[in-house]
Amino acid sequence: MNFQQLRIIRETVRRNFNLTEVANALFTSQSGVSKHIKDLEDELGVELFVRKGKRLLGLTDPGKELVVMVERMLLDAGNIKRLAEQYSNRDEGRLTVVTTHTQARYALPKVVTAFKKAYPRVHLKLHQGSPEEIVSMLMDGQADIGVATEAIAEVTELASFPYYSWRHSVIVPAGHPLEHAQPLTLEAIAEFPLITYHEGFTGRTLIDKTFAAAGLTPDVAMSAMDADVIKTYVELELGVGIIASMAFQPGREGSLHLLDSAHLFPANTTRIAVRRGHYLRGFAYRFIEMCSPALTEATIRSSIAPAGNGHPEE
């Protein structure tokens, strides 16, 4: 048994049993992948995959149990390397933070600036993606820290912590009829085309639920992944915009006006997430604490310790 065989087992499940994709992901040949799987099965004396001819269709019962162990073993192997780096080069290394455009653009700049000043020799990689991509990168070990409003709190393998709360705001071009709506209502907003976030981004689910609870079905004329695009098309008078409140910067928004809409939409909570069992370097804890001083290293450690481990990771 070797680590390459374990990586192939894990990747086979992740790639939905497509050995061509497994080979491409691991920079090897499909025949080599098949041989590694067969060699491991021969060594263990059990079949790990359900087959139809040469195709793999799924996992056998022992295969399902083995995959859990493989994930843990490969996670710990990566942890060993990070542990060595922590004590050999405390203030050097790489930190990968994956987040959405909204968080990268409006919430994290001050944190990133402070972190780079404190740790100039750490290569900070800020990767933007969808909430689903954030979860995937955390689970795969491609990222150390995730920041998002959606998805991450629902994954049991991730430990997530409240970062900050915010609400949606309504924006219109200068002279729009809604400027005179006092107080602003959902019914009044729903009379105009809406421009807001794509499904699954920046609290869109909460926007839809709010209108649905009021018995309204607004006309979402356009949707985008980030507020800058939404603001552009609202300024072109193609609809009323609903954006994250922190995305409106007074004095920098041209002819756009922000309407008082705090009473219309419930609060959203952006969260910081890490994978349970993932070893974090000291500077990763500092980054999280710079985001929220309440999230101390002790707090994070106690939450990300592997399941069944009664003490924080050493």
Are residues 125 and 206 both part of a single domain?
A: no
Domain boundary pick from 16, 50, 76: 76
Tell whether pTM > 0.85: no
Q: Would you say residue 40 lies in a domain?
A: yes
pLDDT at 88: 63
Are residues 249 and 273 both part of a single domain?
A: no
pLDDT in tens, 97-113: 999 999 999 999 999 99
Q: What is the mean pLDDT of residues 28-37?
A: 87
Averaged pLDDT score across all residues of the chain? 89
Q: What is the mean pLDDT of residues 84-101?
A: 82
Percent of the chain scoring above 90 in pLDDT: 56
The residue length of the chain stands at 314
Two tokens, residue 118:
């404190």
Domain boundary pick from 76, 105, 127: 76
Q: Would you say residue 86 lies in a domain?
A: no
Are residues 147 and 104 both part of a single domain?
A: yes
Are residues 216 and 244 both part of a single domain?
A: yes
Query: Is cis: bond before 162, omega within 30 of 0?
Result: no
Question: What backbone phi and psi angles, to 5 degrees, belong to 79?
Answer: -65, -35
Are residues 34 and 116 both part of a single domain?
A: no
Are residues 67 and 212 both part of a single domain?
A: no
pLDDT at 143: 94
Question: Which CATH number covers residue 67?
Answer: 1.10.10.10
Question: Which CATH number covers residue 172?
Answer: 3.40.190.10
Are residues 261 and 284 both part of a single domain?
A: no
Question: Where does residue 85 rank: exposed (0-12), middle (13-18), buried (19+ CB within 10 A)?
Answer: middle
CB neighbours (10 Å) of residue 135?
Answer: 24
pLDDT in tens, 143-172: 999 999 999 999 999 999 999 999 999 999
pLDDT in tens, 230-241: 999 999 999 999
pLDDT in tens, 179-192: 988 899 999 999 99
pLDDT at 39: 85
Domain boundary pick from 48, 76, 104: 76
- How many structural domains are present in the chain? 3
Q: Would you say residue 226 lies in a domain?
A: yes
Element (H, E) at 302: helix 297-304
pLDDT category at 43 given cuts 50, 70, 90 is confident
Percent of the chain scoring above 70 in pLDDT: 95
pLDDT at 310: 39
Q: Would you say residue 87 lies in a domain?
A: no
- Round to whole Å and give the CA distance between 148 and 131: 6
146 beta partners? 98, 273
Q: Residue 286 sits in which domain range? A: 92-162+269-304
Are residues 106 and 221 both part of a single domain?
A: no
Closest by CA to 112, choosing from 123, 101, 143, is: 123
pLDDT in tens, 49-83: 888 888 888 899 888 888 888 888 877 777 777 77
Are residues 212 and 291 both part of a single domain?
A: no
